[in-house]
Amino acid sequence: MTFREDILQGIPKELPEKFTYSDNVNHAPKRKDILSKKEKQLAVRNALRYFPKKWHAILAVEFAQELKDFGRIYMYRFKPKYTMYARPIEEYPAQCSQAAAIMLMIQNNLDPVVAQHPEELITYGGNGAVFQNWAQYLLTMQYLANMTETQSLHMYSGHPMGLFPSSKNAPRVVVTNGMMIPNYSKPDHWEKYNALGVTQYGQMTAGSFMYIGPQGIVHGTTITIMNAFRKVLLKDETSAGKVFLTAGLGGMSGAQPKAGNIAGCITVCAEVNEKAAKKRFEQGWVDVLTHNLDDLVNRVKEAQANSEVVSIAFIGNVVEVWERFDTEDIFVHLGSDQTSLHIPWTGGYYPVGLSYNAANEMIKNEPEKFKVQVQASLKRHAAAINRHAAKGTYFFDYGNAFLLEASRAGADVMAANGIDFKYPSYVQDILGPMCFDYGFGPFRWVCTSGNPEDLDKTDEIAKQVLQDIMKHAPEEIQLQMQDNVTWIQDAKKNKLVVGSQARILYADAEGRAKIALAFNKAIANVEIGPVVLGRDHHDVSGTDSPYRETSNIYDGSQFTADMAIQNVIGDSFRGATWVSIHNGGGVGWGEVINGGFGMLLDGSDEAEERLKGMLFFDVNNGIARRSWARNNEALFAIKREMDRTPELQVTLPNLVEEELLENLF
């Protein structure tokens, strides 16, 4: 069959050959055995409803074995035989271009060079799934191929519920992931209900089809590292020869060594999964690989002596690196961690003293013992960091729930007041006040032609727009503007593309809208092909996450989720091509609600109207909420926007003198 015929058939008419499982692929961790016998029967019953009754006898045995072996039913047999990658948009069989763009983005998320565990439909973060199983993928692609401009596809945690009559101005796809009743949103609830096949963890941009490989976080990571060094270095010092020590290379964390190179430091990144480390090395995202701790110490000392800019991946446990650098008296200027501690018991964090394979066996066969090992490792990890911090290391939590899980393990990470952590979140110290409160966040786009020349042209368009804005920008945001101009003019040189021809750029509402308008004009003039706009959920408005995106909200509302819900609803009727809302994300199931969007620019007047309304709300919704929380930078930004946009009227807080409150209670 041709690619188009394969897409159009959906579930095959004939039962495909049984899938050959290979250990050479980077597979998802085996999930723990959490279902009762009756629940396992229900999981198989749920899986079989995708297929005709004549196949049930064969598939029931097969799916039961998958559940036993992997803790999930992935339906490997139904994985398509064609190569998975983002094709040029015109190659997709579709009734409308918006549907074709979504098909392109789905395939990019599942491209083996992009996805962390492609055969399990997991894009990043250890469990960030596009779909729960391959039947859902096949049906979704078939629905999209047949969709018209007056239909919307509604997706329940990877399951395509169906095409419903809609309107041309409505989103073509509405995605929900993990929307649990609050009392059923603990980590084990995800394990149970995902195993049953009724919900999934969409992470952030995995389940919303907007992942663009590690580039998706590399800009924010670069900004974070650059500004962290600005906090610790003297005025005339540079970051060359200074050490940034962290962990994680599997998914989004793979951006760290590339960001360190761009920021101009020595990056040491530990990763226990050798396949993940080698993948980043082969992609050119890390300069040096080493298995040996002695070699690592010698190489870092050499780099310090020569004021090098270099990234080094240590294939091993980061706890050993922190401890060895302490005894060797290697000074670490910056420290962090980007392992997937939002899922600490299922392969997100590997304890020191266990090999990668031994840990994976323990996850499946001795989950309670594994939990004890993880918590002991976290205490040892935190103790080593504390020794470095006493020497002057600036350690920050990278929003991966490191401090949260370390505190739950009983590690020494709490401040003297017993309430706060002794180390800041990077959002509290850097991205919150310096970017999000001003409206700057990770705007991104994908050139649907697949042509690198289109990406070059969009880079140039974006640079020119930012330079024009910068001429009249207030002093408060000049640093942000300059960092972004520098970023976009060096983007091609830094070789950031993995998978689709995509780019990310931190921009505010003005920048996003003007860049998008310029793109739409270029498309109308046939200078470039259609462009998909989107963003990371890790942004100004999209995410309510008290330990990350909204950790610099101090009025108590950091534990509410109104902003994210308002964001996805508001985007949906202002012109988004698709919208998504998820439970989970980068800090854990039940810890965050986050929303995203996608928008196709096709050069039309309608696209111009949609982008003006939607991009404005998508950013200013969050600035308004942040200003109501009394954040000074957000107050500046929303007042400035109200001056420019008379139709915008936002409730502003009346500030209270501290002395008035001191003796009230």
The binding site for NAD(+) comprises 125-126, 203, 271, 398, 586
How many CB atoms are located within 10 Å of the residue 639 CB? 13
- CB within 8 A of 643, min separation 6: which ones? none
How many CB atoms are located within 10 Å of the residue 164 CB? 11
Helix segments in 392-477, DSSP class H: 402-408, 426, 432-434, 452-470
What the block records as the tokens of 336 is: 């962090």
Contact 202, 584 (CB under 8 A): yes
Strands 593-601 and 531-535: antiparallel
Binding site, annotated residues? 125-126, 203, 271, 398, 586
What the block records as the tokens of 658 is: 């501290």
- CB within 8 A of 268, min separation 6: which ones? 243, 244, 245, 246, 296, 300, 312, 314, 321
Strands 266-271 and 288-290: unpaired
Strands 593-601 and 543-544: antiparallel
Contact 43, 197 (CB under 8 A): yes
3-state secondary structure 81-138: CCCCCCCCHHHCCCCCHHHHHHHHHHHHHHCCCCCCEHHHCEEECCCEECCCCHHHHH
Q: Which of 303, 348, 299, 341 is nearest to 324 (CA)?
A: 299
Q: Which of 126, 30, 12 is nearest to 78 (CA)?
A: 12
Question: What is the Cα–Cα distance from 633 to 43, expressed in whole angstroms?
Answer: 50
Question: What is the Cα–Cα distance from 492 to 365, expressed in whole angstroms?
Answer: 46
Nearest-10 Cα torsion for 432, 623, 541, 466: -80
Q: Read off φ and ψ for residue 51, nearest 5 degrees.
A: -130, 155
Question: What is the Cα–Cα distance from 250 to 268, expressed in whole angstroms?
Answer: 15
Handedness of CA 310, 315, 318, 320 (dihedral sign): negative
Contact 401, 66 (CB under 8 A): no
What the block records as the tokens of 232 is: 């610790």
What the block records as the tokens of 386 is: 């504390």
In angstroms, the Cα distances linking 337 to 382, 407, 426 are 11, 15, 11
Q: Which of 363, 352, 411 is nearest to 127 (CA)?
A: 363
Query: DSSP character for 532?
Result: E
> Across the beta sheet with 243-247, what order do the strands follow?
288-290, 310-315, 266-271, 243-247, 334-335, 394-395
Question: What is the Cα–Cα distance from 331 to 301, expressed in whole angstroms?
Answer: 10
- CB within 8 A of 520, min separation 6: which ones? 531, 601, 602, 603, 604, 607, 608, 611
Q: Residue 585, Cα to own-chain centre: how many angstroms? A: 7
How many CB atoms are located within 10 Å of the residue 384 CB? 21
Handedness of CA 582, 583, 589, 591 (dihedral sign): positive
Question: In the chain, count of helices (H) and strands (E)?
Answer: 23, 17
